[in-house]
Amino acid sequence: MFGKILIANRGEIALRVHRAAHDLGIKTVAIHSTADANAKHVRLADEAICIGPPPARDSYLNIPNIIAAAEISSADAIHPGYGFLSENARFAEIVAEHRIGWIGPEPAHIRTMGDKVEAKRTAARLGLPLVPGSDGPITSLEEARAVADTIGYPVLVKAAAGGGGRGMKVVPTAADLETALGAARSEAKAAFGDDTVYIEKYLGNPRHIEFQIFGDGQGHAIHLGERDCSLQRRHQKVLEESPSPALSQAERNRMGEICANAMAELRYRGAGTIEFLWEDGQFYFIEMNTRLQVEHPVTEMVTGLDLVREQIRVAAGLPLSVAQADVRFRGAAIECRINAEDPETFTPAPGLVSDYHAPGGLAVRVDSALYNGYRIPPYYDSLIAKLIVWGDTRGEAIARLRRALSEFVIGGVKTTIPLHQRLVDEPDFLAGDYSIKWLEQWLAGRAESDEGTAG
C-alpha cells in the first residue's frame, strides 16, 4: 500500500481524497495555488506545497510543478480528483514515467474515452447500445447532410473532445445544418483546441442515467448501480439521485451487468462512469468518464462502499474489496450541488463566507471545504458544497433533504440553496417524473410567472 499520496486538486474533492487516505493510514500532500493558501485541504493535509499563481493553467494544470512537488515530498502516488488533470492521459503517463503511482485508469483507456468518437467505437465493440449517428468524425457538409438525412432531424453536432456541455449544437432542420456545423467547430476549436465533430440523433425527452463501474485491471469488474442525473441546467448536473426513479430492478441488473462485462473485457482499472441517455425503456451510450464523478457520494450512500478507498486499493495492485454478489443496494440517496451563484441568474458569486453552519443528523453528509471566514476565490469552479442525504425510501430521503436544506447556513455569499429548496417541493420531482429538459423548462416557467407578477 502507498505511504503518502499527493492530491492534485483543490476544494471539496481534495478534502474527500485526504479523508479516504487518512482512513487508510496514508499520509497526504496538498498542492495549492497562491489563492488557496488558506484552503481547508491545505490545512488538513500532512504537507502542503504551493505550485503556482491563481490561474489554473499556472497551478492546478502545471504538470512540471506538480511532478516536482511529488518528488520533493516523496509522495508515492498521485490522486487527480475530478476535473483539472484527471482525464489528461499525458499527465498519467508522465506520472508513471516518474515512477509515481497513478490513482486512475491506464493512460490508453483515458485517451480512448477522452475522444468521444473513439469512445463510441469502443463502446460499440464492447456491446453497449449507442445513440444512432455518424460512424466517426464528420469531414464535410455533404457527409453531415447524408448522416442527418439517414437518422432524421433533429440532430446534435458534438465535439469529439467535448466536455462540460460545450461544443454541442442542436440542429432542428436541414436548413440549420451548415450554420450549426460551423458554430460547433469553432466553439470546439476555441474550448478544446480540436475542431473534430460528429453527429448524433437528438433525443427529444430522455433521462440521463449513468452506471458506476469499477475494474481491477486484471479482467474483473463490478457495477455499483446507477445514478439519475437528469436534473440539469445547460447540460450541467444540478441534483443527482440513486436509484433512478425510472428503472426497475430488472433493468438495473441487466444494464449494470452489460457495463461490468464491457469493463472486464477492456481490463479497465479503477473507477469509471458509463453515461447513457434513457428514453422509452432504451439505453443509449453517450460517453464514459475515466475518473471519480462529482456525484459519486450517492453511490457510496446506497452501497456503503468508499469509492476513493477502492480507487487507492486498485491502484496499489490490491483486488477490489467486494465481488458483485456482495454489493447490496439499500434505500435511496440524493445529492444537491450547491454553487456560489445567484439562484435566479446563476451569476458566480465568490466572496467571504461570513457565517457557516452545515446540517447534520442521521444519514446527512456534507462534502465541502467551506468554513467560517473562508474567502471563496473567483478563479475556479463555483461548486462550494455537496449535500447528500440517504433514506430507507426515496420519500424518506426527500424529507431529510428538505430538513437539511433548511438547516444549511452559508452567509455572506449567494448560493443555490434556495433553488434546491423550491425544487424539493415540486410535484414532478416528488413523483420522480422528470427528463433532462425538465429543469430548464421549470426555470423558464418560473421566470415568466415572476414577470407576470411584476407586470
What amino acid positions are annotated as catalytic residues?
Answer: 291
Task: Give the nearer residue to ligand ADP in terms of CB position, either 122 or 232.
Answer: 232
Task: Give the nearer residue to ligand ADP in terms of CB position, either 123 or 384.
Answer: 123
Binding mask 215-254 for ligand ADP (x = CB under 6 A): -----------------x--x-------------------
Contacting range for ligand ADP; rule: CB under 6 A; set: 9-17, 122-130, 158-166, 425-433: 158-166
Applying the rule CB under 6 A, the residues between 273 and 292 that interact with ligand ADP are: 275, 277, 286-287
Cell 433521462, located at residue = 207
Taking CB under 6 A as the rule, does residue 75 contact ligand ADP? Answer: no
In the complex, least distance from residue 429 CB atom to ligand ADP, rounded to whole angstroms = 17
Residues 6+ apart with CB under 8 A from 243: 225, 226, 228, 252, 302, 329, 332
Cell numbers of 246, please?
425510472
Q: Which of 115, 436, 438, 439 binds ligand ADP (CB under 6 A)?
A: 436
Q: Are 28 and 5 in contact (CB under 8 A)?
A: yes
Binding mask 351-380 for ligand ADP (x = CB under 6 A): ------------------------------
Q: Which of 20, 67, 156, 314 binds ligand ADP (CB under 6 A)?
A: 156
List residues bridging with 81 in a β-sheet.
none
In the complex, least distance from residue 172 CB atom to ligand ADP, rounded to whole angstroms = 13
Q: Are 201 and 156 in contact (CB under 8 A)?
A: yes
In the complex, least distance from residue 381 CB atom to ligand ADP, rounded to whole angstroms = 14
Q: Tell me the three state secondary structure of residue 378.
A: coil
Instruction: Give the separation between CA 15 and CA 10, rounded to whole angstroms.
Output: 8
Taking CB under 6 A as the rule, does residue 387 contact ligand ADP? Answer: no
Q: Are 372 and 356 in contact (CB under 8 A)?
A: yes
Size of residue set near ligand ADP by CB under 6 A? 19
- 236-268 burial code (b ≥16 CB/10 A, e <16): ebbbbbbbbbbbeeebbeebbebbbbbbbebeb
Cα 176 to Cα 67, 162, 439: the distances in Å are 47, 21, 26
Task: Give the nearer residue to ligand ADP in terms of CB position, either 191 or 363.
Answer: 191
Instruction: Give the separation between CA 10 and CA 80, rounded to whole angstroms.
Output: 10
Contacting range for ligand ADP; rule: CB under 6 A; set: 14-22, 40-48, 160-168, 302-310: 160-168
Instruction: Give the separation between CA 402 and CA 296, rounded to whole angstroms.
Output: 21
Instruction: Give the separation between CA 376 and CA 39, rounded to whole angstroms.
Output: 9
Contacting range for ligand ADP; rule: CB under 6 A; set: 51-59, 159-167, 183-191, 371-379: 159-167
Cα 116 to Cα 146, 152, 329, 372, 436: the distances in Å are 21, 21, 31, 42, 20
Binding mask 186-205 for ligand ADP (x = CB under 6 A): --------------xxxx--
Task: Give the nearer residue to ligand ADP in terms of CB position, either 40 or 116.
Answer: 116
Taking CB under 6 A as the rule, does residue 59 contact ligand ADP? Answer: no
- Residues within the interface to ligand ADP (CB under 6 A): 131, 156, 162-165, 200-203, 206, 208, 232, 235, 275, 277, 286-287, 436
